[in-house]
Structure 1
Amino acid sequence: MSDMPLIPEEAIAPASVPDAVPASAPHPDPSLSDSAARPETRGIELIDDRDRHGRARDLFAVWAAPNVSVLNFTIGATLIVLGLELWQAVLVIIAGMLPWVLTGIIAISGPAAGTSGSVVMRAMYGIIGNRIVVAFMGWLVAAVYLALNWLAAAFLGADMLARLGWDAPVAAPIVVTVVVAAITVLVAVYGHGLILRAYTYVAILLLGIFLVLTGFILPNVDWGYRAAEPLSGVALWSAASIGFAIIASAPLSYINSPDMARYLPRTTKPGGIIAATAFGGALPGIFFMIVGALMATAVSADELSAGVEGVMLGMMPAGLAPLLVFGVIVNTVALNGMTTYTSSMALQAIGVPLRRIPAAAVVGVIGTALTIYLTLSTTFLNAVNLMLQFLIIVAAPVMAIFVVDVLLRRNRYDGLDLFDERRGSRFWYTGGWGVPGMAAFALGTTASALCLSTEVWTGPIAQAMGYIDLSVPVGTIVAAVVYVALLRTRLGAQGRPWAE
Structure 2
Amino acid sequence: MTKQASHPETRGIELIHTSQRRGSARDLFPVWAAPNVSVLNFTVGASLILLGLELWQALLVIIAGSLPWIFTGIVAISGPAAGTSGSVITRAIFGIRGNRLMVAFFGWFISAVFLALNWLASSFMGAELLGRLGFDDPVAGPILVTLVVAAVTVLVAVFGHGLILRTYPYVALVLLIIFLLVTAFVLPHVDWSYSAAASAGGALEGAPLWSAMSIGFAILASTPLSYSNSPDMARYLPATTKPSRIIAATALGGALPCILFTAVGALLATGIEPAAMDLGIQSALLAMLPAWLGPVFVLGVIINTISLNGMTTYTASMAFQSIGVPIRRIPSAIVVGAIGTALTIYLVMSTSLLDAVNLMLQLLVLISGPTMAIFATDVIRRRNDYNGSELFDERPGGRFWYSHGWNLAGLAAVVAGAAVASLFLTSGPWTGPIAAAMGNIDLSVPVSMAVTSALYLAFNKATPSAGGSQAEATIEGVRA
| TM interval, short-chain normalised | over 0.9
> Under a length normalisation based on structure 1, what TM-score does the superposition of the two structures give?
0.92
Match of 2:477 in 1: none
Match of 1:453, SS state, is coil
Match of 1:12 in 2: none
- Following the alignment from structure 1 to structure 2, what is the Cα–Cα distance between the partners of residues 33 and 80? 43
Matched, 1:37 2:36: no
- Following the alignment from structure 1 to structure 2, what is the Cα–Cα distance between the partners of residues 217 and 72? 14
Q: For structure 1, which segment, 92-101 or 162-171, has the greater mean C-alpha deviation from structure 2 after superposition?
A: 162-171
Q: State the one-letter code of the partner of 2:441.
A: I
Q: State the one-letter code of the partner of 2:255.
A: A
Match of 1:174 in 2: 143
Match among 370, 374, 380 for residue 397 of structure 1: 370
Match of 1:318, SS state, is coil
Q: Which runs of structure 2 are paired with 1:1-12 in the superposition (5 Å)?
A: none
- Following the alignment from structure 2 to structure 1, what is the Cα–Cα distance between the partners of residues 372 and 469? 18
- Following the alignment from structure 2 to structure 1, what is the Cα–Cα distance between the partners of residues 273 and 54? 15
Q: State the one-letter code of the partner of 1:162.
A: G
Q: State the one-letter code of the partner of 1:164.
A: L
Match of 1:155 in 2: 124
Match among 113, 117, 142 for residue 144 of structure 1: 113
* Contact 1:183 1:333 survives alignment (8 Å): yes
Q: Following TM superposition, by how much is the alpha carbon of 1:498 offset from its aligned partner in structure 2, in angstroms?
A: 3.8
Match of 1:419 in 2: 392
Match among 245, 265, 268 for residue 272 of structure 1: 245
Match of 1:83, SS state, is coil
Q: For structure 1, which segment, 456-465 or 334-343, has the greater mean C-alpha deviation from structure 2 after superposition?
A: 456-465
Length, aligned pairs only: 469
- Following the alignment from structure 1 to structure 2, what is the Cα–Cα distance between the partners of residues 47 and 209? 37
Q: Following TM superposition, by how much is the alpha carbon of 1:303 offset from its aligned partner in structure 2, in angstroms?
A: 2.5
Match of 1:476 in 2: 449
* Contact 2:190 2:268 survives alignment (8 Å): yes
Match of 1:8 in 2: none
Q: Which runs of structure 2 are paired with 1:42-81 in the superposition (5 Å)?
A: 42-81=11-50
Q: Following TM superposition, by how much is the alpha carbon of 1:99 offset from its aligned partner in structure 2, in angstroms?
A: 0.4
- Following the alignment from structure 1 to structure 2, what is the Cα–Cα distance between the partners of residues 448 and 132? 21
Match of 1:261 in 2: 234
Match of 1:308 in 2: 281
* Contact 1:123 1:495 survives alignment (8 Å): no
Q: State the one-letter code of the partner of 2:101.
A: I
Q: 1:305 to 1:53 in 2, by over 3 A?
A: farther
Q: 1:112 to 1:203 in 2, by over 3 A?
A: same
Matched, 1:369 2:342: yes
* Contact 1:152 1:380 survives alignment (8 Å): yes
Match of 2:25, SS state, is coil
* Contact 2:13 2:322 survives alignment (8 Å): yes
Q: Spell out, residue by residue over 1:268-311, the C-alpha distance to the aligned partner (whole angstroms, 9 max, x if none).
A: 01010000000000000000000000000011334224321111
Match among 78, 98, 116 for residue 129 of structure 1: 98
Q: For structure 1, which segment, 487-496 or 358-367, has the greater mean C-alpha deviation from structure 2 after superposition?
A: 487-496
- Following the alignment from structure 1 to structure 2, what is the Cα–Cα distance between the partners of residues 131 and 463? 35
- Following the alignment from structure 1 to structure 2, what is the Cα–Cα distance between the partners of residues 414 and 491? 19
Q: Following TM superposition, by how much is the alpha carbon of 1:319 offset from its aligned partner in structure 2, in angstroms?
A: 2.5
Q: Which runs of structure 2 are paired with 1:159-308 in the superposition (5 Å)?
A: 159-227=128-196, 228=199, 229-308=202-281
Q: Spell out, residue by residue over 1:10-45, the C-alpha distance to the aligned partner (whole angstroms, 9 max, x if none).
A: xxxxxxxxxxxxxxxxxxxxxx97611100000100
- Following the alignment from structure 1 to structure 2, what is the Cα–Cα distance between the partners of residues 94 and 304? 24
* Contact 1:129 1:438 survives alignment (8 Å): yes
* Contact 1:242 1:469 survives alignment (8 Å): yes
The Cα RMSD (Å) is 1.5
* Contact 1:75 1:289 survives alignment (8 Å): yes
Match of 1:385 in 2: 358
Q: Spell out, residue by residue over 1:329-388, the C-alpha distance to the aligned partner (whole angstroms, 9 max, x if none).
A: 000000000000000011111111111000000000000000000000000000000000
Q: For structure 1, which segment, 375-384 or 444-453, has the greater mean C-alpha deviation from structure 2 after superposition?
A: 444-453
Q: Spell out, residue by residue over 1:435-494, the C-alpha distance to the aligned partner (whole angstroms, 9 max, x if none).
A: 110110110110111111001111111111110000000000000000000001136575
* Contact 1:76 1:291 survives alignment (8 Å): yes
Match of 1:15 in 2: none
Q: Spell out, residue by residue over 1:105-151, the C-alpha distance to the aligned partner (whole angstroms, 9 max, x if none).
A: 01000000000001000000000111111112211111111101111
Match of 2:71 in 1: 102
- Following the alignment from structure 1 to structure 2, what is the Cα–Cα distance between the partners of residues 304 and 130? 43
Q: State the one-letter code of the partner of 2:40.
A: L
Match of 1:429 in 2: 402
- Following the alignment from structure 2 to structure 1, what is the Cα–Cα distance between the partners of residues 379 and 258? 26
Match of 1:223, SS state, is coil
Q: State the one-letter code of the partner of 1:45.
A: E
Q: State the one-letter code of the partner of 1:463.
A: A
- Following the alignment from structure 1 to structure 2, what is the Cα–Cα distance between the partners of residues 157 and 213? 16
Match among 348, 355, 374 for residue 328 of structure 2: 355
- Following the alignment from structure 1 to structure 2, what is the Cα–Cα distance between the partners of residues 484 and 430? 18
* Contact 2:73 2:251 survives alignment (8 Å): yes
Match of 2:145, SS state, is helix
Matched, 1:464 2:433: no
* Contact 2:370 2:452 survives alignment (8 Å): yes
Q: State the one-letter code of the partner of 2:112.
A: A
Matched, 1:92 2:61: yes
Q: 1:176 to 1:222 in 2, by over 3 A?
A: same
Q: For structure 1, which segment, 133-142 or 231-240, has the greater mean C-alpha deviation from structure 2 after superposition?
A: 133-142
- Following the alignment from structure 1 to structure 2, what is the Cα–Cα distance between the partners of residues 220 and 333? 29
* Contact 1:427 1:495 survives alignment (8 Å): no
* Contact 2:464 2:471 survives alignment (8 Å): no
- Following the alignment from structure 2 to structure 1, what is the Cα–Cα distance between the partners of residues 2 and 295? 38
- Following the alignment from structure 1 to structure 2, what is the Cα–Cα distance between the partners of residues 43 and 258? 13
Structure 2 unpaired stretches of 5+: 474-480
> Under a length normalisation based on structure 2, what TM-score does the superposition of the two structures give?
0.96
- Following the alignment from structure 1 to structure 2, what is the Cα–Cα distance between the partners of residues 495 and 171? 60
Structure 1 unpaired stretches of 5+: 1-31
Match of 2:298 in 1: 325
Q: State the one-letter code of the partner of 1:428.
A: W
